[in-house]
Structure 1
Amino acid sequence: MSLPKITHLPSARLLTSFHQHRQQLLHPSIAPLPAPRRAVIQGQYRRPGQPKENKYPWQKINFNFLKGVEGIKKNFMLLKKEFFDPWVGPEGKPVLEHMLEQNRVVWEFRGPESLEQWTVSSDREIGGQSEVYLKVGKNNNTGFLYGTLSSTPPRDGETRYSGYCTMRSRQLMASFNRKKHHDWTSFNTLHLRVRGDGRPWMITIGTETYFSHQKDDMYNYFLYTRGGPYWQDVKIPFSKFFLTHRGRIQDNQHPIWLDKVNTIGFTLGDKADGPFQLEIDYIGVCKDYAHTEEFAYELYKRNPEV
């Protein structure tokens, strides 16, 4: 039996094939360990059970003349406000008041018009059975979030877990559909006045990102409600928030970019089926001079210095 001639192969290619064949003989059941890496998702995320939309981007545009005129009028009013506010001070406030500011109320519920700044969603969008509603509380002074949580997954053959309800603030928009960000660089603590039913909530803060695959990055921390008839003032330092991507905690952590905050949200998913309620008075930020921590979690370097 004659062996095949392999003299025509280059030496580097021959050595590579020899080592690969040797590793397969010695360790046939051991596969190379995959290196942990950040998930890069370029396409639009489609929820399980949701059909694909076979539409071109221009087919989703509403070509309405009256709507276009109202949009132009609204954008020019916003442009006028952007032009005259810097003459008064940052965000239309006097400069002295802005320099001495230590507490700022960002969101408060003082009437039905304040509900337009928020949006609610649940697993009903993917076929679940949870329900969530938002209304104005008594005397039009609070926001009342209530509903029913159900962890029964939809019967679509794909979804295995379900049971969540979310309340999230809308993105601030400047003139001509430009994003407007919250600048909280002068503060270091999130201040809430809430009254819950004893359930744990997840607070999510969304910031502006540089790359498209980071659009689902969120900073999270926990909100534990006591329950009962009494209000509770909750102060959470921004240094305690940790980075997640679609609910998964990332290995590479870094502090919040407080100069480019877009949204804030409250998510319930404690797998305890039944009714829930959360009453919110206001959501603000404050400056706590006793808190000197910059970031509560370890920061790892890819190429550490020796």
Structure 2
Amino acid sequence: MALTGMLLNGASFHGGCRRHKVLLSLLGPFLSNSKLYSSYRRPGAEPEKKLSWQNADFSFKKGFDHLKTQLSLLKKETQDYLMGPGGHPLSQHLLEQTRVLWQFRSQEDLNGWVISSDVEIGGKSKVYLKLGRNNQAALLYGTLNTEVPRDGETKYSGYCSMRSRPAVGSFNRKKYYDWSNFNTLYLRVRGDGRPWMVNIYTDPYFSHQKDDLYSYFMFTRGGPYWEEIKIPFSKFFLSSRGRVQDSQHPVWLDKTFGFTIGDKVDGPFQLEIDFIGLLKDRAHREEFAYEIYDKNTPV
């Protein structure tokens, strides 16, 4: 504790504000006080005379526990990598015909998903997610409202969505799914007759592509019976901010998955999801269903 205080005090004493911030970022896991990372001060409030590190509560136990957890995750990832693709032997990977990605049997399964609606832009739609009857499915339900917020800017409203959380590896590294061995999305759902949009979200490197989205339609028939839906990945088309793009490209099968409803019909909706999986259909040989062409053909 004394050594850490001397390091922080020395960094700020020599005028190294940048060094101070770098050192605080390195010691982040050992700190349990978030005031170190915020320089906000209310207008009219007197500046604090103490240095920022003097208000911190150093928790070495918390830091070491966090490090121990991340190292155990790294060990498991290394073992899975040495065993084969996806942590399975190579022979099993080559012969695999189906794979269940998500199934909903507990609250922990629901915690891997995020719901949102047009409330974020001032709308009035409502969406909820809970376990279904006998904890055998996920129930996504709510009310769709297409009333446009009166802010003078928004022109359209009325949507609700559900999407999976991004996969995270050890030390908060991004992980990507490997669906290259499959060509069809396989779902078992029970809806109320409304059409839905099945989305595969991209995670591009450039910021101007952050709204890119691969989508395809899912039509539910309603009624008391479950239905099994198969959607080839070749059918997914590229859109950005709700507009279908002229230049289409095959989907990259390593991103976040989700559902969206926005059929412009006010009223309640519900969708039960038993599981979401993958299928390798050897009879389906189509690589991409849409025409790929150059917008500016060279002369």
TM-score by length of 1: 0.75
Equivalent residue for 1:272?
A: 265
Separation in structure 1 between the aligned mates of residue 298 and residue 183 of structure 2, nearest angstrom: 30
Separation in structure 2 between the aligned mates of residue 201 and residue 217 of structure 1, nearest angstrom: 18
Equivalent residue for 2:284?
A: 291
Identity of aligned residues (%): 63
Change (3 A) 1:89 1:195: same
Equivalent residue for 1:220?
A: 215
Separation in structure 2 between the aligned mates of residue 164 and residue 135 of structure 1, nearest angstrom: 19
Change (3 A) 1:79 1:300: same
CA-atom RMSD in angstroms: 2.0
8 A contact 1:180–1:262 mirrored in 2: no
Change (3 A) 1:165 1:77: same
Q: How many residues align?
A: 246
Equivalent residue for 1:178?
A: 173
* Residue 237 of structure 1, aligned match among 229, 232, 239: 232
**1:160, CA displacement in angstroms?**
2.1
Equivalent residue for 1:116?
A: 111
Change (3 A) 1:64 1:183: farther
**1:65, CA displacement in angstroms?**
5.5
Separation in structure 1 between the aligned mates of residue 144 and residue 98 of structure 2, nearest angstrom: 34
Alignment of 1:117-136 (within 5 A): 117-136=112-131
SS of equivalent residue, structure 2 residue 259: strand
Separation in structure 2 between the aligned mates of residue 153 and residue 69 of structure 1, nearest angstrom: 50
**1:208, CA displacement in angstroms?**
3.5
Change (3 A) 1:160 1:96: same
**1:60, CA displacement in angstroms?**
9.4
Separation in structure 1 between the aligned mates of residue 167 and residue 291 of structure 2, nearest angstrom: 32
Separation in structure 1 between the aligned mates of residue 298 and residue 152 of structure 2, nearest angstrom: 50
Separation in structure 1 between the aligned mates of residue 84 and residue 236 of structure 2, nearest angstrom: 31
8 A contact 1:123–1:162 mirrored in 2: yes
Equivalent residue for 1:47?
A: none
Change (3 A) 1:160 1:65: farther
Separation in structure 2 between the aligned mates of residue 135 and residue 92 of structure 1, nearest angstrom: 30
CA offset digits 1:150-199 (Å, max 9, x no partner): 11112222212111000000000111111101111111101010000000
Separation in structure 2 between the aligned mates of residue 60 and residue 107 of structure 1, nearest angstrom: 41
Higher Cα Rg, which structure: 1
Decide which structure has greater helix share. Answer: 2
| Amino acid in the other structure paired with 2:262 | G
Equivalent residue for 1:74?
A: 69
Separation in structure 1 between the aligned mates of residue 71 and residue 39 of structure 2, nearest angstrom: 25
Equivalent residue for 2:91?
A: 96
